[in-house]
C-alpha cells in the first residue's frame, strides 16, 4: 500500500499561470480533503469530497477548484495562480466511519512568483 500520494512534490509558478495538483489513495477511502498549511496558521481546509463525483467547499475555497472523477483521485486546480497561494498543500483521505482518522500525503510545496 502506497497510502496517499501527491504529485508534484514541488512547483514554481508565475502569477497568472495554472496548474493541477494530483492526490491519489489506494485505501478505497470514501472521503478526501485538500488543505493548505501556512506559517502560524496550521492546516486549513480548502475543499473536500465525500464520494466520487461530489465536492464541497471548505474554509478557504476561493481561487481553487477540485474534481473527483474517480474514487481514488482528488484533483486540486489553480486557474490563475497568485502569490497568496504560495503554501504547502496536503491531501488527506479517510473511510466513511466516524471513528477513523485522516491519513495525509507528503505534501506539495508551491511557490508563486
Partner 1 sequence: DQQVKQNSPSLSVQEGRISILNCDYTNSMFDYFLWYKKYPAEGPTFLISISSIKDKNEDGRFTVFLNKSAKHLSLHIVPSQPGDSAVYFCAAREGGYNKLIFGAGTRLAVHP
Residues that bind partner 1 (CB under 8 A): 4, 31, 33, 35, 40-45, 48, 50, 56, 58-59, 90, 92, 94, 96, 98, 100-107
Strand-strand pairing, 103-104 and 87-94: antiparallel
Q: How far apart are CA 93 and CA 103, in angstroms?
A: 5
CB of 106 vs partner 1, minimal distance in Å: 5
Eight-state DSSP code of residue 68? -
CB of 8 vs partner 1, minimal distance in Å: 14
CB of 75 vs partner 1, minimal distance in Å: 18
Element (H or E) spanning 5, and its range? strand 4-7
Amino acid at each position: 500500500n502506497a497510502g496517499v500520494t501527491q504529485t508534484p512534490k514541488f512547483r514554481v509558478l508565475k502569477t497568472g499561470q495554472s496548474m493541477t495538483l494530483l492526490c491519489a489513495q489506494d485505501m478505497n477511502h470514501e472521503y478526501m480533503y485538500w488543505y493548505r498549511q501556512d506559517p502560524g496558521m496550521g492546516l486549513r481546509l480548502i475543499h473536500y469530497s465525500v464520494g466520487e463525483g461530489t465536492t464541497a467547499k471548505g474554509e478557504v475555497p476561493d481561487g481553487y477548484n477540485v474534481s473527483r472523477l474517480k474514487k481514488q483521485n482528488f484533483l486540486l486546480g489553480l486557474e490563475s495562480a497568485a502569490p497568496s497561494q504560495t503554501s504547502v498543500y496536503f491531501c488527506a483521505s479517510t473511510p466513511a466511519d466516524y471513528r477513523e482518522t485522516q491519513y495525509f500525503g507528503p505534501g506539495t510545496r508551491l511557490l508563486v512568483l
